[in-house]
Structure 1
Amino acid sequence: MARNRTIGRTHRGIAWLRSNGARVRRSSGRRSQFRLFLEQLEDRRLLAAGDLDSTFGTGGLVTTDLASVTAGLSDKATGIAIQQDGKLVVVGSAKIGPGSDFAVVRYHANGVLDPTFSVDGKLTADFGGEDTAQRVAIDADGKLIVVGQSGTDFALARFDTFGNLDTTFGNGGKVTTDFGSDEGIGGMAIDADGKIIVAGYTETGGAAGRDIALARYNSSGSLDPTFGNSGIVITDISVTDALLDIELDTQGRIVGAGYSVRPGGSDFDFTLVRYNADGTLDNSLDGDGIQQTNFSSGSDVARSLTIDGLGRLILTGDAGIATFDFAAARYNTDGSLDTTFSGDGKVTTDFGGTTDRGYWGAGIDPLGNLVVAGYSTQGSTSHDFALSRYTSSGNLDTSFGNAGIVTTDFGAGNPDFGLNMAIQADGKIVVVGESAQGATSSDFAVARYDSGFTVAVPGVTITPPTGLTTTEAGGTATFTAVLNTEPAANVTFRLISSDTSEGNVSPISLTFTPANWNVAQTVTVTGADDLNLDGDVVYTINTANTVSNDLNYNGLNPIDVSVINVDNDVETLTLTIAASSFSEAAGVGASTATISRNTDPANPLTVTLMSNDTSEATVPATVTIPAGQASMTFSLGAVDDNIIDGQQTVMITASASGHANSTDSVIVTDDDVAGFTVTGASTKITWSDSGASGTDPFGVPFTSTPNQTLPSWGMPGFNSGTTKFLAPGSYEAFRVTFSGLPAGVVINATHPNTVLNVTPFSVADLWNKEVTGNSILFTSPDPVNKRLDQNDWFFTSVIFSGLFDASQLAFEVEYISGPGVTVSEAGSSQTVQISLDAQPAENVVLNIASADTGEATVDKAALTFTPANWNVAQDVTVTGADDQIADGDQLTEITIAVNDAVSDDAFDGVLDQVVTATTTDDDGVSLALILEITDAIISEDAGPAATTATVTRTGDTSGELIVSLASSDTTELSAPATVTIPVGQSSVQFDIGAVDDAIVDGTQTVTLTASANGYPDGTDSVDVTDDDAARLTLSLSTGQSDTVDQSSETGGSVGGVDHFAPMGQSFVPTRSGLDYVVLKLSDNTTARNGVTGAVRIRQSSITGTVLGTSDPVFFGRLL
C-alpha cells in the first residue's frame, strides 16, 4: 500500500460538490472557493488513492434493496447529492410490480441508512406510469429536488428533509411536462433565484428524431414564462440530439453536454451547447452556441459536464473506439478545445475490457484532478464499477489506483454498473449505480473510495453532537464548537432549541474570528419543565447556517446536537378557558375551554367539571378526552339571571381520578340594566308614493337624486328650516321601505348625514338608524323629549351605494308613535302593561300622571314593583273624558316616572316614558264661535286693557277667520272692531277696555258680541263697576265766595240741612235716594235772578247766569 502524499502549500479548488450532475450556485452568482489545507501527517500507513474506504459500509461497499423480493424486480441508482451534514442522498428507480417508481435513499456518512428519513431511510414515489429518477439536487432550503421521467414526460418531485412530498410544489409535490411526444431528462441545475432548469430530449420526429429540450420551473413547480417559449426551449442540431448533463457558469449561462449526429455522418459526436439565461443560444461559444467534437469513427457520447475553477468546460463520456473507451474533452470558454489538456484537448482511456463507458459521473476533486466514473466490462460478460482520475494536464494520475484507473466488483461475478458519482468535501469519491443480485434482479449499489490525501475543509466541529442529557428540574449539559480552518472574516451562526418547552440554549449565537477560530466555545443547554407527563423527550439544538464574508464559510450548516430531557412531571390536568370574560347574554356557547392531560393518551380519560356559580355560568357535568388525544375542548354557557348584580367571577374546576385538579376563572359581565317596559298598541301614519319627486299627503316635498356623488332619497331642509313636519301627531320612529332598486344598489348604512331636525338644529337631534335590507328605521335618541311633532322643522336623507332610476323608485313611509292608546269621549278605555326590565334589590315605585285629565284619565296614580314581582306586568287603564267641546281628536301624554325618593337607587337614573293617548271627539264638528271674557267684573277706571277675551272657532282651521266685535254700551266697555284667527289656529286672544263716564250710575252690565261670516254669534258679558260719588260743584264767573244751601225733597216735602261752601268747591249730598236736586239762588230770603232749575242725579250739570253782583252771598235751597 502506498504512502499518502503530503503537501505543505495552500491549493485553491472548487467549493462545489458534484451531485449527480446537478449544480447549485450561490446567490452571489460566482463560485465560492475553498481555502484548502493539506495536513502534514505523521508517518503511518494510510489508504492508497483509489482504495475502497473501509469506514464506509462493509469494506467500502453498500447495497440496498428497495423492490419486492419477487424475482426479476430491480433497483438502480442513477443520481447522488451530498448534504452539508455529510449525509448521502441517492436516487434512481425501483421496480415495484409491473412498473417502476422514483426511489430515494438517504445514508449517514458511514453508509448506514438514515431512519429519520421516511422512517427507514428509503422511499418510493409513483407518478402513475413507468417512472425513473435521473438526478437529485438540494435547494437552498435543504429540500430534495428529484427529476427524471414518467412514461414519456418530464417528471419532477420535491421532498422535505424528512422525506415527505412537499405539497407546495406542483400537484401534491409532483410535476410532469409533456412536450407532445416522448421526452426524457438527462441533467438538472438550480439557479441563483431557486428556479429549476432541466435538460434532455424530445422526440419530435419519432425515436430517430430527437431534439434537445430544456424547461425552467419556478420554485412553485410552474413553468417560468420568461424562459424560452412559455418556459420551454427546443434546439434542433441534427436528426438526433440530446443533452445528458447541464451546469450553470459564473454568468448564469446554461452549459450542456450531450450528443448529436456529426455532420455528413450517422454516428454521434460529443456536443457542447451554451444558452443565455433567457434560453437563447449564446453565440459567443463557437459563433452559434454549439460545438461538436469527434473522437472516433464510431459514436462519441458526452454524458457529464464539469466546469473547473478557471471556467474551462470539461465533457466526459465514452468514445466509440473499437468497442468503447472512457473519453474526456476540455474546452476554453469560447468553445475551442483547450490544447493544454492532453495536447489536443481530448483524452480517451481503455480499461482493458471490451466496453468502457464513462457515465453520468464526473467531478473536480479538491486538488483539481478530474475524476470520471462509469463501468467497464471485465472478462467476457461481467461489468464492474470503473473510475479514472486525470491531472489538470489531462494525464492519468498514476497515484490513483492502478496507474490512474480503478475497477470494483461487488462480488459473485455479477454485473455492477457505476452510473454516477460525487466528491465529498474531504476528497473521498462516492460512486452509485446498480449491482446484480443473481441473474434477474439488482439493488442500489454505493461505493466510497479514498482520495489518497487529507483535506482540511472549512467547517464547524461540534463535540459531542449526541448523548447530552438535561432534566426538567433545570439540569444542564454542554457541548463545544470550533472552526476547522482559519476564516478570512468573522463567522457567526445561531443556535435554536427545537422545543423550548423541553430545553433552552445559551448563548443563542456563536462568533468566531480569524484570531480565535481554533478556540472551542462552550454552549450550555438547560432543561425546561413542560408540566406534561411525557417521559424523557429527545429534542435538538439546531445550528443555523453560518454567516460570513468569507465565502468558504458562508452558508455552511453545522451538525445539530441531540439532547434528552429527563421528565419529572406527575399526572396533572390543565384547564384553560378561552375567553377571560363574556356577557351573561352570550348563551350556551359563550366561550370554549380546553382540558388537557399530561399523561399517556393511549386510553380515554373522563373529567368531571364543576361551576361554583351555576346561576352565572354552566359547564357539562363531564367531558371525555378520547384515546389518542391529549386534550378536549368543550363549551361554557352563560346564564342570564335578569338581576342587576354587576360582573361576577366564576371558578370552573376540572378533576379526574389520579390527577391533580385544575381550575380557571371567567368573569361574567352583567347585561341587566335598570329600566321598565311599557307595552300597548302603537299608532302610526302610513303613506306610499313613487317617482323622482312630489309631496306627501300633508304637503311636504320629497325628491330623489340618483345621478349625483351621493345617490339619495330625502325630504329636504337640513339645518335651514325650509321643511316643516305637517303630519298630525307626535312620533318617535320613522321608517322608509324602498322597492324598484336595481340589483346591487343598497342603502348605505354607514353614511352619517341622516337627521330629524328639531329646531334649532344640534348634533343631539341626530336620530338613530337601523338598516334591514331595503328598509331603514330612524328612532329618536330620547323618545320623551326628542319627538317629531306637528310643525317641527325636520330633514331626512337616505344614501344609496349605486345609481338607480328615480322614476322606478317606489317607497312606503311610516310615522310611528308608541306605545299609545286610543280612547273616546264616550268613556271607552284601553290598557297598557308595565313591567321592570331587571330585578331590583328593593321596591321600585312608578308614578302615573295624565297631562290633561279633561281628555284622558288613568286609574292608578302609582305602581309598586317588588323584587318578587318585578317581572309581572301591571295594568294601567286609560279612559277618555268628555269635554263637550267640538275640539277634534286630542293627544294627551301619560307620563310614567320612577319615584326616586322611595325606589331602588339603581333605578334613579331611568328616563321617564310617555304613552300617547288619543281621545276621539264625539261633540261634532258644527261651526261655532265661542267668546270668553277672562274677568267677570272690571272697574270703569281700569283703562283700555282692563281684561282679555278669547274668541274660539270650531271646525276647519285651514284658513284665517275675521271676527267682528260689538259692545252693548260703548260708554262703559270698548273692544276692537275686528280680530283675526290665523291659519291653522282655532282661537285668538285680545284686550277689552273700560270707559270712565264720571257719572254716579252704579254697576253696569255690558254684553260683547263676536260675529263672523258663516258662524253663529258668540257672546259673553262683564259687569263694569262705577267709581263716581254724588257731588255738586258751583262755579261762578265773578270769582267771589258764594254759598249753596242744600235741601232735600222727599215725597214733595221740603226739609234738610243747609250746607254752605266756598265758590269753586264741590260738595257731596248728605242724603241719598234723591231723585232731583233743585237749585235756587237767593239773597237771604229774597230770590234773585240767576240759576234755577232741577238737575237729575244722573245728569252731570246745568248752566246758568248770575245776574246780581251787589250782594255776593247767595242762598241756595235744595227744594
Structure 2
Amino acid sequence: MPEIGGERQVGILNLNNSLVAPTPDMIADPGELTIGFFQHTVIQVMGGRMPYKFAKESGPGEIDPRVGLFSADDEVGTAVIRVTDTLGDSTTVTIHIERSGVHDINYNGNGSINYSPMEGMFKALELTNDNHFVSVGTSEGDFLVAITDRLGEGDDWMGDDGDITIPVGVGGVAEAKDVILSDGYGLYIAGVAGSGTSNDFAMIKIDGQGTLDDSFGAGGKILTDFVGDDDGANAMIAQGDGKIILGGYAKIGPNMNSALARYTPEGELDTDFGPLENGKVVIPVAPGASPDIITSMIRLEDDEFMTVGKALIDGKQRVALMKFNADGTPDVSFGVGGRMITAIGARDVTATKMVYAEGRLYVTGYIRNNTSGKDEIIVLKYKLDGSFDETFSEDGWAVVRSPLPQYSAYGFSILVMTNGVVTIGGAMGNLAAGTKFPLMTRLRSNGRINLDYGTTGFVDFPDAGEGMIFDLDALDNSTVSYTGYMISDETGENTPMMGRVW
C-alpha cells in the first residue's frame, strides 16, 4: 500500500490502492454574483473531489442540494450557499438578489454605458440569442450601429470598438430608427436619409462579417422616394419569405400620410406589393387626416401585419390602427376599410409603439391631461378586432403620470413579459422646453402600476442626467435592456446610451 506521509496528505487512494494526484483547491466561479427576482443560476465548482453538496446557510431563495441550481424568489437580500466536496472541504458562494427596476451591475459594472464624447442617440434595440446588444441610431448625420456583449464590452464584429457610423444618402441627416436580425448574424437597418432634394425611406443591410452587403440594393444601401417630397421610415418587419416591409410617412402635396414599401431579399422594390404593384403604398387613415404617420408595426400569422400611428383629425391627435393582408392591401374585415381610429374623449393621444403578445395588441404613447395641461403615459390593450380588452385597467387603457408632478411623462417603447407584466420606457419632463429625463416604469398584468418596481414604480437613473429612452428589449423575464441617449457632462451634447435593468 502506498505510504501516506506524516501529517500531510499527498494524495488519496482509489479502489485499486494506487495513489491519485492531490486535488486542487476547491473554488466556486464566481464566488459572488448578483441576480434578479425569480432568476435561476447554477453554481459552478472547480477543484476538490466530486460529488459536491450544496446547502443554503442564510438568506432568501432555494438551492438544489445535488446540482447547485439556485432559484431566487421575490425577496430582496443576500443568500450564502456552502459547497462541500466528498473530502469535507468547503467554500461559500454569495448571491445578491436585487429587486426589479434596479440596474444590473453585471452589465459594464454599473448597468449602463454612455458613448461620450460621441454625439448622437440610439433609437432602436435588438437583442441576439446570445444576449448581445444591437443598437442603432444617428451620429453626426450618419447611421450609427453599436454592438456590445452581455457584459457591456464592445464587440469588434462591428468596428474596432464595437461601433461604426455609416454614411447613407446625400445631404441632410441620416437617422436609423429600427433594426431586425437577418440570417447569418446580419442586420437590416431602416430609417430616413436625404437624397439631395428631399428625405427618403432608407435601408441598409450588414452581412455576417459586419460590412455592408454588396448583394443588397446598391452597395448594401437603398433609398426610396414616393413623389419627390419628404418621406421617412419609422418601423420595419420581416415576412416569412424574407421580404422586408418598411412603414412611415410620405408627403403628397400638402398632406403627410401613412406609407409602406416592401422589398425583396435582394433589396428591390417588390412589384407584387400594393394596389399599384410598384412596391409602395400611401394610405390616409381617414379623410382629411394630416399629418398621419405610421410609428410602429407588428407581423401577424400568415404574414398579415398591423400598423399603429398618430393622426391629426379635426385638430386632435388620435391613435390610428390599420390591418393589412400580406400583399399590402387593407384587410377590409377590420374596422372601416382596414382602418380604426381611437379617441379618448376630447384629449390628444399620440401613439408611438406597438407590440403583439398572447393574442393582444399593446400600444403606448402619451395623452394630454386637459386639467393639468401635462402629458401622461398611456398604455392601450386591444383585441385583434380593434376593441379594447377591458380586463386591463377596466377600460382597456391605463395612464401613468410622471413621478414628479411638475413634469409630463411620455411613453416611447413598450415590452410585454411572458407573465403579462408591461414595461414602458420613455421620458419625463417638458419636451417643448427641451428638458427631459429618462423614465422606465412597470404595470402589472391588470394595468395597475407596480409600486414594488424600482422606487415606487420607477427606475432610478442617478448618473444619467437629462436624456430619453426610445426602445426596450428582453430575452427572458429576468432583465430588460434599453437604449436612448443622455446629455453628456463632457460635451453638453446628446450622447448615445444603453443599459440593462433587473
Quickly name the TM-score band, shorter chain normalised.
Answer: 0.7 to 0.9
Q: 1:81 is matched with which residue?
A: 126
Once residues 362 and 100 of structure 2 are traced to their aligned partners in structure 1, the CA distance between those partners, rounded to angstroms, is 22
Q: 2:167 is matched with which residue?
A: 126
Once residues 320 and 204 of structure 1 are traced to their aligned partners in structure 2, the CA distance between those partners, rounded to angstroms, is 29
Contact 2:351 2:364 (C-alpha < 8 Å) held by counterparts: yes
CA-CA distance at 1:368 after TM superposition: 2.2
Letter in 1 for 2:297: I
The residue correspondences of 1:806-821 to structure 2 (distance < 5 A) are none
CA-CA distance at 1:118 after TM superposition: 2.1
Task: Write the deviation string for residues 610-658 of structure 1: whole angstroms up to 9, x where unpaired.
Answer: xxxxxxxxxxxxxxxxxxxxxxxxxxxxxxxxxxxxxxxxxxxxxxxxx
CA-CA distance at 1:201 after TM superposition: 0.5
Change (3 A) 1:102 1:267: same
Task: Write the deviation string for residues 567-600 of structure 1: whole angstroms up to 9, x where unpaired.
Answer: xxxxxxxxxxxxxxxxxxxxxxxxxxxxxxxxxx
The residue correspondences of 1:628-667 to structure 2 (distance < 5 A) are none
SS in structure 2 at match of 1:141:
helix
Contact 2:304 2:325 (C-alpha < 8 Å) held by counterparts: yes
Matched, 1:235 2:304: no
Letter in 1 for 2:272: T
Once residues 423 and 295 of structure 1 are traced to their aligned partners in structure 2, the CA distance between those partners, rounded to angstroms, is 30
Change (3 A) 1:203 1:410: farther
Letter in 2 for 1:84: N
Letter in 1 for 2:457: G
Q: 1:428 is matched with which residue?
A: 479
Change (3 A) 1:184 1:84: same
SS in structure 2 at match of 1:251:
helix
Q: 1:157 is matched with which residue?
A: 204
Residue in structure 1 matching 2:220, options 153, 162, 173: 173
Contact 1:296 1:320 (C-alpha < 8 Å) held by counterparts: no
CA-CA distance at 1:378 after TM superposition: 8.6
Once residues 350 and 250 of structure 1 are traced to their aligned partners in structure 2, the CA distance between those partners, rounded to angstroms, is 35
Q: 2:32 is matched with which residue?
A: none
Q: 1:272 is matched with which residue?
A: 321
Q: 1:142 is matched with which residue?
A: 185
Change (3 A) 1:218 1:404: same
Once residues 320 and 404 of structure 1 are traced to their aligned partners in structure 2, the CA distance between those partners, rounded to angstroms, is 21
Q: 1:316 is matched with which residue?
A: 364
Q: 2:378 is matched with which residue?
A: 327
Residue in structure 2 matching 1:338, options 386, 389, 394: 389
The residue correspondences of 1:491-890 to structure 2 (distance < 5 A) are none
Q: TM-score, normalised by structure 1?
A: 0.35
Once residues 183 and 357 of structure 1 are traced to their aligned partners in structure 2, the CA distance between those partners, rounded to angstroms, is 25
Residue in structure 1 matching 2:421, options 369, 389, 397: 369
Q: 1:395 is matched with which residue?
A: 448
Once residues 38 and 303 of structure 1 are traced to their aligned partners in structure 2, the CA distance between those partners, rounded to angstroms, is 39
Once residues 111 and 6 of structure 1 are traced to their aligned partners in structure 2, the CA distance between those partners, rounded to angstroms, is 23
Matched, 1:52 2:52: no
Gaps of 5+ in 2: 1-34, 41-68, 80-95
The residue correspondences of 1:989-1004 to structure 2 (distance < 5 A) are none
Task: Write the deviation string for residues 932-962 of structure 1: whole angstroms up to 9, x where unpaired.
Answer: xxxxxxxxxxxxxxxxxxxxxxxxxxxxxxx
Q: 1:444 is matched with which residue?
A: 496
Once residues 258 and 239 of structure 2 are traced to their aligned partners in structure 1, the CA distance between those partners, rounded to angstroms, is 20
Task: Write the deviation string for residues 368-396 of structure 1: whole angstroms up to 9, x where unpaired.
Answer: 21111111129997422111212222111
Task: Write the deviation string for residues 338-359 of structure 1: whole angstroms up to 9, x where unpaired.
Answer: 1111111111110134221111
Q: 2:244 is matched with which residue?
A: 196
Q: 1:572 is matched with which residue?
A: none
Once residues 295 and 257 of structure 2 are traced to their aligned partners in structure 1, the CA distance between those partners, rounded to angstroms, is 12
Gaps of 5+ in 1: 9-36, 68-73, 451-1119
Once residues 377 and 275 of structure 1 are traced to their aligned partners in structure 2, the CA distance between those partners, rounded to angstroms, is 36
Q: TM-score, normalised by structure 2?
A: 0.76
Once residues 460 and 293 of structure 2 are traced to their aligned partners in structure 1, the CA distance between those partners, rounded to angstroms, is 29
Letter in 2 for 1:111: G
Residue in structure 2 matching 1:107, options 141, 145, 148: 148
Once residues 201 and 407 of structure 1 are traced to their aligned partners in structure 2, the CA distance between those partners, rounded to angstroms, is 35
Residue in structure 2 matching 1:259, options 284, 300, 310: 310
Contact 2:309 2:320 (C-alpha < 8 Å) held by counterparts: yes
CA-CA distance at 1:316 after TM superposition: 0.7
Once residues 351 and 382 of structure 2 are traced to their aligned partners in structure 1, the CA distance between those partners, rounded to angstroms, is 13
Task: Write the deviation string for residues 391-437 of structure 1: whole angstroms up to 9, x where unpaired.
Answer: 222111233123433242434x4x21111111133531111111111
Residue in structure 2 matching 1:301, options 331, 339, 350: 350
Contact 1:410 1:416 (C-alpha < 8 Å) held by counterparts: no
Q: Percent sequence identity over matched residues? A: 25
Contact 1:140 1:194 (C-alpha < 8 Å) held by counterparts: no
Which fold has the larger relative contact order, with Cα–Cα distance below 8 Å and residues 6 or more apart in sequence?
2
Contact 1:396 1:403 (C-alpha < 8 Å) held by counterparts: no
Matched, 1:117 2:158: yes
The residue correspondences of 1:397-416 to structure 2 (distance < 5 A) are 397-411=450-464, 413=465, 415-416=466-467
Once residues 427 and 232 of structure 1 are traced to their aligned partners in structure 2, the CA distance between those partners, rounded to angstroms, is 40
CA-CA distance at 1:38 after TM superposition: 10
Contact 2:112 2:499 (C-alpha < 8 Å) held by counterparts: yes
Letter in 1 for 2:328: G
Contact 2:419 2:445 (C-alpha < 8 Å) held by counterparts: no
Residue in structure 2 matching 1:90, options 131, 135, 143: 135
Structure showing greater radius of gyration is: 1
Once residues 4 and 164 of structure 1 are traced to their aligned partners in structure 2, the CA distance between those partners, rounded to angstroms, is 36
Once residues 297 and 63 of structure 1 are traced to their aligned partners in structure 2, the CA distance between those partners, rounded to angstroms, is 40
Change (3 A) 1:251 1:65: same
Letter in 1 for 2:351: A
Task: Write the deviation string for residues 230-281 of structure 1: whole angstroms up to 9, x where unpaired.
Answer: 111111121221110101012321111111123xx20211111111111111
Once residues 438 and 345 of structure 2 are traced to their aligned partners in structure 1, the CA distance between those partners, rounded to angstroms, is 24
Once residues 189 and 113 of structure 2 are traced to their aligned partners in structure 1, the CA distance between those partners, rounded to angstroms, is 22
Change (3 A) 1:296 1:53: farther
Once residues 341 and 444 of structure 2 are traced to their aligned partners in structure 1, the CA distance between those partners, rounded to angstroms, is 24
CA RMSD of aligned residues (A): 2.4
Change (3 A) 1:241 1:406: same
CA-CA distance at 1:4 after TM superposition: 6.5
Change (3 A) 1:402 1:278: same
Once residues 246 and 5 of structure 1 are traced to their aligned partners in structure 2, the CA distance between those partners, rounded to angstroms, is 31
SS in structure 1 at match of 2:212:
coil
Letter in 1 for 2:366: D
Letter in 2 for 1:245: S
Change (3 A) 1:40 1:125: closer
Task: Write the deviation string for residues 801-833 of structure 1: whole angstroms up to 9, x where unpaired.
Answer: xxxxxxxxxxxxxxxxxxxxxxxxxxxxxxxxx
Contact 1:296 1:319 (C-alpha < 8 Å) held by counterparts: no
Once residues 257 and 294 of structure 1 are traced to their aligned partners in structure 2, the CA distance between those partners, rounded to angstroms, is 14
Q: 1:356 is matched with which residue?
A: 409
Residue in structure 2 matching 1:225, options 266, 271, 274: 271
Q: 1:671 is matched with which residue?
A: none
Once residues 70 and 230 of structure 2 are traced to their aligned partners in structure 1, the CA distance between those partners, rounded to angstroms, is 49
Letter in 1 for 2:154: L
Change (3 A) 1:407 1:393: same
Once residues 447 and 234 of structure 1 are traced to their aligned partners in structure 2, the CA distance between those partners, rounded to angstroms, is 37
Once residues 333 and 361 of structure 2 are traced to their aligned partners in structure 1, the CA distance between those partners, rounded to angstroms, is 14
Letter in 1 for 2:292: D
Contact 1:6 1:38 (C-alpha < 8 Å) held by counterparts: no
Q: 1:774 is matched with which residue?
A: none
CA-CA distance at 1:6 after TM superposition: 5.1
Change (3 A) 1:38 1:213: farther
CA-CA distance at 1:64 after TM superposition: 1.4
